[in-house]
Structure 1
């Protein structure tokens, strides 16, 4: 008989950040996040132009993976799962990068499909939430934005849109706002978002950082961020304020996560656009997302 898995470490290799989650399933059957870490090597830097992960970005990422592996051992994780999202999913040298990661760390990195990423983000975001009726869940990442429509925890439809905070920042120009609006209009026409969902739930660094700013947090506190509602007017105000600031002032203001300061306006533009097209007046912030969803999957198969 195989050993029961009750403690799982998940490493999420994104376009901007590499994140760590230690989750545990208690005797009461409830899954809880015990520990989280975030580093921002920006694996997808310059990716929008070259379609390749740079050697420099790989070298910045490797010590983070080793750090997380060591941490998982100290925390007695029964299993370590490493997943990758948009940047590795579409990179021309994806398998070369995966091989380097495996040979340098021993990690077998699973590159998530668009559907796998969207489903895991949705299950993580919705876990333990009592929301009746249709919901639109969004996960604004560095390289893509996942949108899922669901009812009472069951998925109705999903979409992965290849526009994220990093890729959008690297292509920013005077036409950006109009182009983002047109891109998301196409996807909204393909999904009945405004007629289907009345509640918007958001996960990802853009939204959690915004919640921290709105709450005035000096250090990130998931207990305060999770379940916090942000009004559309606040989203719009923060977008306009941050977009108008020079880089150093913006970085000082976003002291909670200074490595995200340069891409935060792009992430907020995506959020603002979704709220506008879907006629959402506010967004419910979830600290749980992709990593938590991956952990839930591991507990389900054991």
Structure 2
């Protein structure tokens, strides 16, 4: 993603970015892989009856695992030249799972909105069939949209996530990514989350108290904040880098700042993989009761003292 120019030297910027990548990405990889593998195990083995929510969470955990598995390859081939086809596949794997995560998070938010806004209809319609179909569509569309990644480089071999061709930074493409990949999901997230918060704070029924007691209000707020923190900077950075590639930003120091910003924002976007796994736990009693997480902890002698 870095910009190269005859007028500007990006050596120091890239060096700092690589240091940050190693310092943040390695802990993210280890912690995220452990947490999401545990989540997949719990969802697939200990959830008595699959529901829409469990299907979405399984797909979200799977997307996070695949993205995490691409990180070591991303780190290695961002400093070492790789065959074009391999590098394009690594980039596609990274971006596909980033956007699958975004859309699955949106699906979970919409599902919660339906259940809170229309509790009887929402609880009655918990069949996982529609969720499976939606997830299949999300995965298929994401992989189809990643196909241009295979022609977005100037030469072969090349270093991954570098030397992207001008086609990759064309205005129509970047505008499409920003609108369909971020702004529309963000608008849906904000609307559904705001509606959910308003309903939970103003509805005076017993059902509302039960939902609040399960921590839904906290989960909704945390989920929205995590989405904003993880995905807003990287999409802002992509927009700024597009301006650089379109020669609308010429100042060298500003180019260097944007180059560092886009690399750092991608690093912090990866933290979403860990935060998603923590989000599963903070789904409060609902998650622990349905997955029998307490029994899992009791079955392990190391954690047995904590089960009480």
TM more than 0.5: no
Identify which of structures 1 and 2 has the higher relative contact order when contacts are C-alpha pairs closer than 8 Å and 6+ apart.
2
TM-score normalised over the length of structure 1: 0.30
Larger CA Rg, structure 1 vs 2: 2
Structure showing the higher helix proportion among its residues: 2
TM-score, length-scaled by structure 2: 0.29
